[in-house]
């Protein structure tokens, strides 16, 4: 399922190999007090719920406290600001999408098909009604987090671009792709696909199969070896 899948069931799966800001926050909280992990998870889950309910990446902090069943003092024990919590939530959403994309890629045969699996998986976030509703706030208003946490934001984004780098490198080995800078090329493809996804989310339109075909064709032509 896309990012709309229940986070509570997703987080019961085996721990992902890549580190996440949520795991870092949990580790810090658990070192401070026995209930720290449960408190951090409650705050993150509540924030996801309030964002989905309000459609805003700047949700009222009081609503988060109410949904989490926790007070201001507990919140500031674990997070320096609401933006710091939102950064963790954004990173966790990317971790979930990355796990979803990795499964799609693993089921594809060959680098060209794997590239399409990545692109199609990203665009499905704008095709699935519930995924669109939950993803739209991140497309609308994450610029503030980029400005406040540029290093952490870029690190969070890399969980998605690393999948593309691996696909491009596989394609180079297969002889179907050519790239002297796989990381740079992966970032360009990422920017193009997510810009298209965000436009559909903002306009509340659904990308079609032709949209995915066009993005995939563009990426393959860009990576195709010169004759």
Does 11 reside within a domain? no
How many domains, in total, are found in the chain?
A: 1
pLDDT recorded at residue 24: 78
pLDDT band at 226; cut points 50, 70, 90: confident
Does 178 reside within a domain? yes
Does 77 reside within a domain? yes
Dist. CA 43–CA 31, nearest whole Å: 17
Q: What crossing angle do the helices spanning 82-106 and 111-127 adopt, rounded to 10°?
A: 130
Does 5 reside within a domain? no
Assigned token pair, 120: 């199609």
Dist. CA 113–CA 105, nearest whole Å: 8
High-pLDDT (> 70) share of the chain, %: 89
Dist. CA 10–CA 88, nearest whole Å: 16
What are 10-34's pLDDT values in tens digits?
Answer: 333 333 444 688 777 777 777 776 6
The DSSP secondary-structure symbol of 108 reads S
What are 48-86's pLDDT values in tens digits?
Answer: 899 888 888 788 899 999 999 999 999 998 899 998 999
Does 143 reside within a domain? yes
Which CATH number do you get for residue 185?
A: 1.10.357.10
Domain assignment of residue 59, given as a range: 19-223
pLDDT recorded at residue 19: 66
Does 13 reside within a domain? no
pLDDT band at 7; cut points 50, 70, 90: very low
Q: HSE on the CB side for 224, CA within 13 Å?
A: 9
How many CB atoms lie under 10 A from the CB of residue 69?
A: 11
Q: HSE on the CB side for 126, CA within 13 Å?
A: 25
The least confident of 54-68, 143-157, 189-203 is: 143-157
User: Which pTM value belongs to this model?
Assistant: 0.82
Does 120 reside within a domain? yes
Does 83 reside within a domain? yes
pLDDT band at 135; cut points 50, 70, 90: confident
């Amino acid at each position: 399922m896309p990012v709309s899948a229940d986070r509570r069931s997703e987080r019961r799966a085996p721990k992902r190999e890549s580190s996440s800001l949520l795991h870092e926050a949990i580790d810090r909280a658990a070192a401070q007090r026995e209930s720290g992990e449960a408190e951090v998870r409650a705050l993150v889950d509540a924030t996801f719920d309030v964002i989905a309910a309000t459609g805003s990446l700047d949700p009222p902090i009081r609503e988060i406290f109410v949904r989490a069943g926790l007070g201001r003092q507990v919140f500031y024990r674990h997070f320096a600001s609401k933006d710091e919590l939102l950064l963790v939530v954004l990173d966790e959403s990317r971790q979930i999408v990355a796990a979803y994309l990795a499964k799609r890629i693993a089921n594809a045969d060959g680098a060209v098909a794997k590239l399409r699996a990545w692109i199609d998986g990203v665009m499905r976030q704008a095709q699935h009604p519930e995924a669109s509703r939950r993803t739209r706030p991140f497309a609308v208003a994450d610029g503030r987090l980029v400005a406040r946490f540029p290093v952490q934001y870029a690190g969070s984004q890399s969980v998605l671009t690393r999948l593309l780098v691996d696909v491009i490198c596989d394609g180079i080995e297969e002889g179907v792709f050519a790239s002297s800078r796989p990381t740079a090329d992966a970032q360009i493809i990422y920017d193009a696909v997510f810009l298209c996804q965000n436009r559909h989310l903002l306009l509340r339109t659904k990308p079609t199969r032709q949209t995915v075909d066009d993005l995939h064709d563009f990426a393959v032509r860009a990576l195709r070896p010169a004759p």
